[in-house]
Structure formats: C-alpha cells, structure tokens
Amino acid sequence: MFQGKQAKILMVFICMILGIMLSTQFKSAENAKNSITQQRVEDMAERLKTSEKENSRLNSELKKLHEQSGSAALARQLRNLQAKAGELPMEGPGVKVTLDDSTVVAKPGDNANLYIIHDDDLLRLINELRAAGAEALAVNKERLLDISEIRCAGPTVSVNNNRFSPPYEIIALGNPQTLESSLRLRGGVIETLKFWGITVDVKQSNNLLVPAFKGTRHYDFAKVKEGDSK
C-alpha cells in the first residue's frame, strides 16, 4: 500500500518536472521566435533606410543631369545664334578667290577705270557666291554680314569701314564645285573681269577659315517689337 502511494507521488513529481521542462522549452522557443522576428524587422528597417538614401541620391543626380542637359542645350542654342550672327569664326570647304588689277596697258581712248577692280566687281562676285549657296563670306579677312558695306574709297575699296587695296582675297564656305562653277559661267563675272585683263584666281579647298565679325552693330531706328517673340 505504501509502495503504491510512493509510486503515485513519484509519477506526479515526474509529471510536474516534465510540465516545467515543456513550459520552459515553449517559452524559450517563443522568445527565440520573437527575437528572430525583431531581428528581421530591424534588418528590413535598415534596408528600407538604405534604399531611401540611395533613392534620394539618385534623384539628386537625375536633377543635376537635367540641369546640365538644359544648360548644354542653351549653350548649343546660343552658339548656333552666335554663328548665324557672324560672331564666331567658321571653317570648312569652299573656294578662295584672288583678284588683282589688270596689268594690261590701257589703249588710247579707253577708260582706264575698266582695268582696275571696283566695289561693283566685288559685289557682283559676292552675290554670285551667295546665290550658289555660300554659307560664310569674307573679303581680306573681313567677315561679311547683312549689314556689311563694300564701297569705293578713292583708289581703294572699303569693307566694313576698313580700306583695302588690291589684291583682294575672297573666302566663301560652301560646296567648292558649285561655288566655282557659278563664277565660271559663260558671260559670268570671271569672264567679264578677265576681258579687261583683271587677274582672277579661283582655288577649291576642303579647309578654309572665315573669321568672326570684328565690327560693332547698333540700331538707331529699328528696335525689337515688345510682346512678340515670333
């Protein structure tokens, strides 16, 4: 009888021990689970913070690229406008035309002025080159614009208010063959000049330079119309 009671007490004690052990293991497992979950949350939070920083950095770089792109576009636009206005030197293929007064002695009764180069001769030659597609022109390194003037000044020719005496060198950028052909038309400007013994030499080149306009521009009467950008 006593032995049966001891066995029951022992069984109860063993069950209590097992219960405590199971409870401890469950709590340990729950704590471990909670620890892992907390670690994952902290890890995700750190990754999110890193991603936000990277996203902010990329947005900043993208903004800078947009600003630089806009500045580059404005710079290109300004450069194109300066080129069209003649404020930048231009280079490329074209022709170089050199003219000099005639060495032929005028015959008695002939007009001696027919044997020398005048502003009309230069203007006619330049107009032919423009009509043939010349994109940039210069006379004796003076850039020609829409406001440029070529006129006689005694025995010299004035270009942009600078006087020059022969020989005259004209540089025209464009298709070399087309430009030269326009000057060598039958009855054209070269044939007329050579009739009076005036020397005309035309050379094609793939690399010529037309300098920038060196003068100043001002408007006394014309002004930009306000409120109209077209």
Q: Region 183-188: what's the mean pLDDT?
A: 91
For residues 38 and 146, the model is more confident at 146
Return the CATH superfamily for domain 90-210. Answer: Protein of unknown function DUF881 (3.30.70.1880)
CA of 150: how far to CAs of 12, 99, 120, 142, 146, in Å? 126, 15, 8, 11, 11
* Torsion angle, alpha carbons of 79, 81, 85, 89, to 10: 20
pTM of the model as a whole = 0.67
Q: What is the per-residue pLDDT across 95-107, written as a single tens digit (0 to 9) for each?
A: 999 999 988 777 7
pLDDT tens-digit readout, 36-47: 556 665 666 676
Between 6 and 223, whose confidence is greater? 223
Give the C-alpha separation, 49 to 77, whole Å. Answer: 42
Using one digit for the tens of pLDDT, what is the confidence trace for 77-95?
878 888 888 889 999 999 9
Q: Is the pLDDT of residue 138 over 60?
A: yes
CA distances for 11 relative to 17, 21, 24, angstroms: 10, 15, 20
Asked whether the beta carbons of 158 and 144 are under 8 A apart, the reply is: no
Higher pLDDT, 13 or 209: 209
pLDDT band at 132 (very low <50, low <70, confident <90, very high): very high
- 61 falls in which pLDDT band (50, 70, 90)? confident
DSSP one-letter code for 175: -
